[in-house]
C-alpha cells in the first residue's frame, strides 16, 4: 500500500472512530437527561398526590361524618342535668351507651332518659361506673344499634394538630357540632380546643373519618366559678377496654363493675371501702346483675317463640342461633369478673354451668337443624336444668 492510500485510510478510520465516540457520547447524555427527567416527573407526581390527599382531608364533609354516626349518639336528660352519650357496643338484646359518670352520678338511676337525633326517647339504666376516669355505661334495652367505630381500630392514631369535632347536647341544644383540633394527647386523655359547654359531657370526640377518639369528661376552669376557654379534655377510647368493656378480637362486651354498696345505717350514707368483704359483695352483686341478663334473654325468647321453639322451623332455628350468641357473651362476661379467693370455688362452678348452658343449647340447635326430635328434647332438658342450676348455685353462694 502506498503512502497516500495509507494516509487516506487512516483519516477515514479516525473520522469513523470520532463519529462513533460522538454518537455514543450523545446517547449517554440523552440517557442521563431522560433518567433525570423521569425522576423529576416521579417527584412531581408524588407531590401532587400528597397535595390532593391533603386537600381531600381538609375538604372532608363534616355533614356526611355526622350523618354517618347520628343514629349512635344519644342526648341524656336526668333529674340533675344534661349530657351526651354514644353507643359503644350492641347485641340483639341491648345496646350500651358510654357517657361521663358525672352526668348521671347524682341522679335517680331509674329516671334517666336518652333522646335520639329524631327526638325519640328511651329509658335507660346505669349498668356500670368507673369514678376514677369519670366514665359510666348505660344500658338501653334495644338491640342491634351500630356503634361508633373507634379510630385506633382502623389504625387512625391521633396526633397534635389533627382536626376533630365534638357532637353533644350543650345547654339542651341537641345535635350541636363544634370543631377544633387535638391540642395535646397522651395514653389517657386527649385535649381539644373545640367549643364545649354543659351538656357536652359524655359526647364523642371524633376525627374526620367519623371515628371516636375519646369521651368528653372535663372542661378546664380558671377558678371555682369560671371555665377556661379552649381547654377541654376527653378520656381516650382505649381506657374503656381496661375499665368497662371486655375487649377481644372484633368483639366488645360490657364488663359489669358493681356500683359501691352503701351501708344500711341510715345515719351514715357513706360508701363502704373495698375490703375483702367488699370484694365478695362486688362479685355477688355482679352475678346478680348477670342473672338479670339471663332472665331478660329467656323472656325475649319466650315472647317470640311461643310454643314453636321445639320444632324444626328455619325462623326458630335462626332465633335460637341469635340466643346462643347471647349465651356465649354472658358466659364470657362471667369469666371476666374479678372475684376474691374466698369465692373461687363458687365462681368456677358458675363458669362451668354457664359453659354447659352454651354446649347444650348448641347441641339442641344442631338437632333442630337435622330434624332429630329425641335429641332436641334431650338437649333442651339438659339446657333447662343447667339454666336453673345457675340460679340455684347463686342462691347457695349468698347463703
- pTM of the predicted model as reported, rounded to 2 decimal places: 0.54
CB 194 within 8 A of CB 179: yes
Cβ contacts of residue 170 below 8 Å, gap of 6+?
176, 196, 197, 198, 199, 200
DSSP state of 200: -
In this structure, the chain runs to a length of 399
**C-alpha angle 180/184/185, rounded to 5°?**
115
Q: Please report the domains of the chain, with CATH numbers, ordered by start residue.
A: 67-140 (2.40.10.10), 151-242 (2.40.10.10), 276-398 (1.20.120)
Q: What is the pLDDT along the chain (399 residues), one digit of tens a residue?
A: 555 555 555 556 556 655 665 555 555 554 556 666 667 666 766 776 665 555 545 445 778 888 888 899 999 988 777 899 999 998 888 899 999 988 998 787 777 899 988 888 999 988 888 888 889 999 998 888 999 999 888 888 889 999 999 998 877 777 889 999 999 888 888 999 998 887 889 999 999 999 999 999 876 544 555 555 667 889 999 888 878 887 766 667 787 554 433 333 333 333 333 334 467 777 887 888 788 778 777 766 765 555 445 556 777 788 788 888 889 988 998 988 888 888 889 999 999 999 999 999 999 889 888 888 888 888 988 998 998 899 889 888 876
CB 173 within 8 A of CB 166: no
Which residue do the cell numbers 370543631 mark? 179
Bridge partners (DSSP) of residue 73 are 86
Would you please indicate which residues are annotated as catalytic (active-site) residues? Answer: 102, 134, 201
Per-residue burial over 139-154, b if 16 or more Cβ lie within 10 Å, else e, is bbeeeebebbbbbeee
Positive or negative torsion for Cα 234, 239, 244, 247 = positive
Identify how many contiguous H helices and E strands the chain contains and give both numbers.
8, 14
Element (H, E) at 149: none
CB 48 within 8 A of CB 71: no
Q: Which DSSP string corresponds to 43-107?
A: HHHHHHHHHHHHHHHHT--HHHHHHHHGGGEEEEE-SS-EEEEEEEEE-SS-EEEEEEHHHHTTS
Amino acid at each position: 500500500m502506498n503512502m497516500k492510500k495509507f494516509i487516506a485510510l487512516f483519516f477515514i478510520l479516525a473520522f469513523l472512530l470520532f463519529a462513533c465516540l460522538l454518537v455514543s457520547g450523545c446517547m449517554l447524555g440523552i440517557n442521563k437527561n431522560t433518567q433525570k427527567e423521569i425522576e423529576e416527573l416521579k417527584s412531581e407526581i408524588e407531590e401532587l398526590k400528597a397535595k390532593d390527599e391533603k386537600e381531600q382531608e381538609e375538604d372532608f364533609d363534616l355533614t356526611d361524618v355526622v350523618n354517618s354516626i347520628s343514629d349512635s349518639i344519644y342526648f341524656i336528660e336526668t333529674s340533675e342535668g344534661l349530657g351526651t352519650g354514644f353507643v359503644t357496643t350492641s347485641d340483639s338484646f341491648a345496646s350500651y351507651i358510654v357517657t361521663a359518670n358525672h352526668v348521671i352520678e347524682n341522679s335517680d338511676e331509674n329516671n334517666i332518659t336518652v333522646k335520639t337525633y329524631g327526638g325519640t326517647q328511651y329509658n335507660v339504666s346505669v349498668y356500670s361506673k368507673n369514678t376514677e376516669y369519670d366514665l359510666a355505661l348505660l344500658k338501653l334495652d334495644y338491640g342491634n344499634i351500630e356503634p361508633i367505630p373507634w379510630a385506633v381500630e382502623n389504625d387512625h392514631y391521633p396526633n397534635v394538630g389533627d382536626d376533630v369535632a365534638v357532637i353533644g347536647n350543650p345547654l339542651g341544644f341537641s345535635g350541636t357540632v363544634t370543631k377544633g383540633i387535638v391540642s395535646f394527647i397522651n395514653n389517657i386523655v386527649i385535649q381539644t380546643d373545640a367549643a364545649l359547654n354543659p351538656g357536652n359531657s359524655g359526647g364523642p370526640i371524633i376525627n374526620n373519618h367519623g371515628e371516636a377518639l375519646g369521651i368528653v369528661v372535663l372542661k378546664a376552669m380558671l377558678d371555682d366559678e369560671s371555665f377556661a376557654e379552649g381547654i377541654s379534655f376527653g378520656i381516650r377510647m382505649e381506657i374503656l377496654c381496661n375499665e368497662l368493656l371486655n375487649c377481644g378480637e372484633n368483639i366488645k362486651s360490657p364488663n359489669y363493675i358493681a356500683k359501691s354498696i352503701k351501708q344500711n345505717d341510715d345515719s351514715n350514707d357513706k360508701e363502704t371501702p373495698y375490703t375483702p368483704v367488699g370484694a365478695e359483695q362486688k362479685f355477688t352483686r355482679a352475678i346478680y346483675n348477670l342473672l338479670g341478663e339471663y332472665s331478660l334473654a329467656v323472656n325475649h325468647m319466650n315472647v317470640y317463640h311461643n310454643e314453636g321453639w321445639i320444632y324444626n322451623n328455619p325462623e326458630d332455628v335462626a332465633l335460637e342461633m341469635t340466643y346462643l350468641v347471647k349465651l356465649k357473651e354472658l358466659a364470657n362476661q362471667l369469666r371476666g369478673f374479678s372475684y376474691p379467693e374466698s369465692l373461687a370455688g363458687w365462681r368456677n362452678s358458675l363458669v362451668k354451668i354457664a359453659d354447659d348452658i352454651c354446649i347444650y343449647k348448641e347441641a339442641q340447635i344442631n338437632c333442630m337443624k337435622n330434624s332429630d326430635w329425641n335429641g332436641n328434647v334431650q338437649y333442651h332438658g339438659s339446657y333447662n336444668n343447667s339454666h336453673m342450676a345457675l340460679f340455684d348455685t347463686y342462691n347457695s353462694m349468698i347463703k
